[in-house]
């Protein structure tokens, strides 16, 4: 895995002059996947397996985050409902003591 994978640049000097406004991956460090020819990639099975394992780990981490987010959302809804019940109880207690109902903001 010590070898660096090199992706050939399809643009020639002639192409660069006529396509000067086109995105150049070498200048920005990003790669447009539509420019790739899968036959030109030199990826070993070990590198592919490593990448696959990393993607699996990311997917698992995202699933955990989503689960925690859902749990927090459910707890927030429970808290809001409990808050509504308490506010209603306070309102009812104030009315039964002869108080007036406060105006809602």
Q: Residue ranges of the domains in the chain?
A: 43-98
Distance CA 56, CA 51 (A): 9
> What separation in angstroms does the CA of 46 have from each of 3, 50, 89?
12, 6, 65
Q: Does residue 18 register a pLDDT over 50?
A: no
Q: Does residue 13 register a pLDDT over 60?
A: no
Q: How many other C-beta atoms are found inside a 10 Å radius of the C-beta of residue 77?
A: 10
Q: Does residue 16 register a pLDDT over 50?
A: no
Assign 98 a pLDDT band (cuts: 50, 70, 90). confident
Mean pLDDT of 17-32: 52
Res 42: pLDDT:
75
Q: Which of the two residues, 16 and 52, has the higher pLDDT score?
A: 52
Mean pLDDT of 49-74: 97
3-class DSSP string for the chain: CCCCCCCCCCCCHHHHHHCCCCCCHHHHCCCCHHHCCHHHCCCCHHHHHHHHHHHHHHHHHHHHHHHHHHHHHHHHHHHHHHHHHHHHHHHHHHHHCCCCCCCCC
Res 27: pLDDT:
53
pTM beyond 0.75 = no
């Amino acid at each position: 895995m010590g070898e660096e994978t090199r992706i050939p640049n399809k643009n020639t000097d002639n192409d660069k002059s006529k396509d000067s406004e086109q995105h150049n991956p070498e200048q920005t460090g990003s790669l447009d996947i539509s420019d790739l020819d899968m036959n030109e990639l030199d990826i070993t099975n070990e590198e592919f397996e490593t990448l696959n394992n990393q993607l699996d780990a990311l997917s698992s981490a995202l699933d955990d985050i989503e689960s925690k987010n859902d749990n927090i959302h459910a707890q927030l809804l429970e808290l809001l409902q409990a808050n509504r019940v308490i506010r209603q109880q306070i309102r009812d207690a104030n009315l039964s003591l002869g108080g007036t109902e406060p105006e809602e903001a």
